[in-house]
Amino acid sequence: MKTSTIIIEDNVEYCNEIIEKLRLIENVQVLGCFHSLEDALAFLDRGQTADFFLVDIGLPGMDGISGIGEILMRNPETKIAMLTIFDDKELVFNALKNGACGYLLKGESEGRFQKAIEEIVSGGGFFTPSIAQMVLKFFRKKPFSKHKITKREKEILQLMSDGLAKKQISDRLFISYSTVDSHVKNIYKKLHVNCGVQAVMKANEEGLI
């Protein structure tokens, strides 16, 4: 059974290019293409659907990123891949957050393109190396933390992130409130923040906890 596919891309020329590429991939059957997200959503609202959507990110009207959410709201099982010339960090992560299964750069070689599509329709995820690189960087703890937090401080930061008050932390660690307070003060200084929320957020971002 082939994977029914819809393309959403406003540039007609490029659209045809993609269709040609997709024709070469077995297991994929192109149902058609729309030139705006609104059209595609109307299609879904008519009760019709597809297994796989290939969506351009820079569409007139509703943009691709918002579109992902809309499509998934109507059909949560759909697989969606973004198609774009940009590899902007924010865009990529926003797309992923909204539920995209993959992110393809338009310049991708034919082989890579095919490979990626195959992975996605078969239920896997796919990142081109540059996207994978971004994801790696995202996860990677920052260079052994300019902010050299001590073991105890890290421990306390962790409990803070669980929502414990200083008093509760002191009880948990069998130390006095004053000690916790001191540690917290030091943490704030090291992270250059001045409240718990910021501290926990920053620690989180920097992979300290």
Task: Out of 45, 47, 163, 174, point to the residue binding a second copy (CB under 8 A).
Answer: 163
Given strand 28-34, what is the order of strands in its sheet?
A: 28-34, 3-8, 52-56, 79-84, 102-105, 126-127
CB of 171 to DNA, least distance (A): 11
- Within residues 144-183, the interface with DNA by CB under 7 A covers 148, 150-153, 165-167, 170, 173, 175-179, 181-183
139 touches a second copy (CB under 8 A)? yes
57 phi, psi to nearest 5 deg: -90, -30
Smaller CB separation from DNA, 2 or 189: 189
- Within residues 47-106, the interface with a second copy by CB under 8 A covers 73, 76, 93, 96-101
Of 54, 57, 117, 50, the residue nearest 78 (C-alpha): 50
**Beta-strand pair 102-105/79-84:** parallel
Cα 37 from Cα 155, distance rounded (Å): 48
Residue 184: which of DNA, a second copy, none does it interact with, CB under 5 to 8 A by kind?
DNA
Binding residues (CB under 7 A) for DNA: these are: 148, 150-153, 165-167, 170, 173, 175-179, 181-185, 188, 194-197
